[in-house]
Amino acid sequence: MQKKIKAAVIGGSGLTGTELIKIILGHSGLELAYATSRTYKGKKIGEVFPGIGCSQKYVETLNKSQLKQTDVLFLCLPPHDSMQYMAKVLSIYEGIVIDVGSDFRLNSASQYKKWYQADHLLPDLLDKFVYGLPEVNRNQIKGANFIANPGCYPTSVLLALYPLLDSKLINPESLVIDSKSGISGAGRKLKEAYQFLNLSENFYAYSPLGHRHTGEIEQEIAKIYGKKLKVSFTPHLLPVDRGIFSSLYVPAVNLDEKKVAETYHHYYQQSLFVKYVNHIPQIRQVAGTNNCLIASAYDKDSKILKIFSVIDNLVKGAAGQAVQNMNIALGLEEDQGLRLQGIRT
């Protein structure tokens, strides 16, 4: 019998951390070695979260011996915390690190300071992290030791744009991105705006200027398109528990709709999780899965190409994509542990 890969979830009681634990427990090649939580240290995971059938106990932190026994570290930590954790363990830990947080997505310390209003503690480590968008960077992810999991919004946006950008079928100079996310994108933190009475039967935009994911989107578009540009990105909060729906608007004169469809099918024909569909996709169609569904419509009157993309922000936008990255890095089947059934019908 093949030895199981030992995984540790740092920040295992947050929404992303618990989603990741559920996936690890269902992964035939993985063993949950450790899960950390300052809040619930010493308590059984299944006691804190009865929906997770796990008798393992949370630990507050990992010592040197535990780190050396771990093959993969999943960092499910808030902004600024992943780099602090890495600064402590970098000289000790020798396995794979997948940062599901945001500290290693941007390639330069100056960009990190611009978008996250803090100095990066490990600027020399930034270029060692591979941007873990599998459908775009699969070859770089193979064998990588440091992987930065993309943000949930950028995942939905970049997967929708990649085929058309890479094939130069569109010009993104005047790209407008309108994204909506479920409340789980904000994590477990208590905030008045996220309370039921304020969110139920409500819908609104937030951070219309300077949202942190804008820099990440612009950075990765430049890599694909070969040119730096600015995009207009506005996120919104939906009164649903999970899911992201992104609508993208691209000016395009005399666009061949058939060519657009053919391009998507060509780029994603071998993809296990990304599909171009002939209907406007819905959040309920991807909830609980690692899938991304994409569709498009060309408005001949306004000369605007409209692109629609849906993902589950906790799975393809976070925990599921992290495991997908790990599978690729270690040479496992890409969908191992990720053959998930949706939670909506």
Catalytic one among 54, 76, 152, 292?
152
Token match 């999943």: residue?
74
Residue 87 CA to residue 27 CA, distance in Å, equals 29
In order, the DSSP letters of 121-186 are S-GGGGGGSEE--HHHHHHHHTT-SEEEPPPHHHHHHHHHHHHHHHTT-S-GGG-EEEEEE-GGGG
289: number of CA atoms within 13 Å, CB side? 21
Active site residue 76: no
CA distance 114 to 129: 19
Give the count of beta carbons closer than 10 Å to the beta carbon of residue 139: 10
What is the distance between the alpha carbons of residues 139 and 85, in angstroms, rounded to a whole number? 27
Contact 141, 130 (CB under 8 A): yes
145's CB contacts (< 8 A; 6+ apart) are: 95, 96, 97, 128, 329
In angstroms, the CA 185 to CA 165 distance is: 27
What is the token pair recorded at 151? 């943000």
Catalytic residues: 152
